[in-house]
Copies of this chain bind each other. A is one copy, B any other.
Amino acid sequence: MKPIALDAMGGDHAPRVTVEGALLAHKQGIPVVLVGQTSVLKQELKNQGGDLPIAEAPEYITMQDQATDVRKKRRASINICMELVKQTEASATVAMGHTGATLASALFGLGRIQGVDRPTLLIELPSEKGRTYLTDGGANVDCKPEWLVQFAVMATAYAQAQGVQNPSVGLLSIGEEEEKGNELTLQTFPLLKATPGIRFYGNVEGSDIFKGSTDIVVTDGFTGNVVLKLSEGEARTIFKWVREALSSGSVITRLGALLVRPALQGLRAKMDPAEYGAMPLLGVEGSVFIGHGSADGRAVHSAIRKAKSVVEASLVERVRAGIARLTG
């Protein structure tokens, strides 16, 4: 396997956490190439007592940059990552942070798979059945019905690459019945029903996401992004309240809290976005993963691991085949 190209300059805590995550992956035998300013990365590797190959990139995108700045900073680390993937020198790009810039860089450097109107970001959320794949996570705010159909096909390919047999697809709406929804979902419903190669379940509601009623939930990128941020925020608030309830109670409560702490920590991890690592960008000619800008070394490591599993499962070929079936 060709190494995974990690944008070592991206995210809030680069290059410390990117190098840390890359070293963790390397220890597990996953080949990684750090992309960024050689002198900075060499110093960081030295600090952490590790050694990894480096691909030089004199520039990088900051969180203050616009997505379109990837066109101005041609030698930015994220662009070099895409170049390595394009030239099959690397098997995937992993970047923490600037979603818009990574998306723009992927479109610019790799291009879309033939037949794909818009690439989509796929989110993973924990559910009572395991996990729910949600598309689109925020790459396309205003969507056409045909795009949602393509998202469903690409998410199906992704879920299959992750080992889900015959994944079911739900259309996020405000009622189960076919006639419930907004203009977009009402137009999308019959198209999804007629789409070959996907298992369409029908409409699902907000309550179905954590219940895990379907493997995949399809929606526009505005709603999807609200869902992503709300679900993370709500989990954070509830766990905060649990902590407060347990620590501010009576002596008996506080004793109990001590005893249940390990069990609750296990649960916390289940809800932790860092466990899921990164979102795949589907529909471009290469494997691209985007993680949280606030990622720690463990989250970077998860992202690299996820990229590896997807590359091994021939994700891009699967997406290509799904879209080809769609366009006849």
Contact B253–A229 (Cβ < 8 Å): no
Determine which of B182, B237, B259 lies in contact with A142 in the assembled complex, contact meaning CB atoms within 8 Å.
B182
Residue A223 is within 8 A (CB to CB) of chain B in the complex: yes
List residues of A whose CB falls within 8 A of some B CB: 127-128, 138, 141-142, 172-174, 181-183, 185, 205-211, 219-223, 225-238, 240-242, 245-246, 249, 252-253, 255-264, 266-267, 270-271
Complex Cα gap A227–B128 (Å): 19
Known contacts A242-B267, A256-B256; is A172 also within 8 Å of B237 by CB? no
CA–CA, A226 and B134, complex, Å: 13
Complex Cα–Cα for A257 and B172 (A): 36
A-B CB contact pairs (8 Å), 30 listed: A142-B183, A173-B222, A182-B222, A185-B222, A205-B225, A205-B229, A206-B228, A206-B233, A207-B236, A209-B230, A209-B233, A210-B230, A210-B233, A210-B234, A223-B226, A234-B234, A242-B242, A245-B263, A245-B264, A249-B260, A249-B263, A252-B259, A253-B260, A253-B262, A255-B256, A255-B259, A256-B257, A256-B263, A257-B260, A259-B259
Q: In the complex the two chains form, what is the Cα distance from A185 to B141 in whole Å? A: 11
Give me 20 other A-B pairs in contact (C-beta within 8 A), A172-B226, A245-B266 excluded: A141-B174, A141-B181, A174-B221, A185-B222, A206-B231, A207-B232, A208-B233, A210-B233, A210-B236, A219-B226, A222-B223, A226-B226, A235-B238, A238-B238, A242-B242, A246-B260, A249-B263, A255-B259, A256-B258, A259-B259
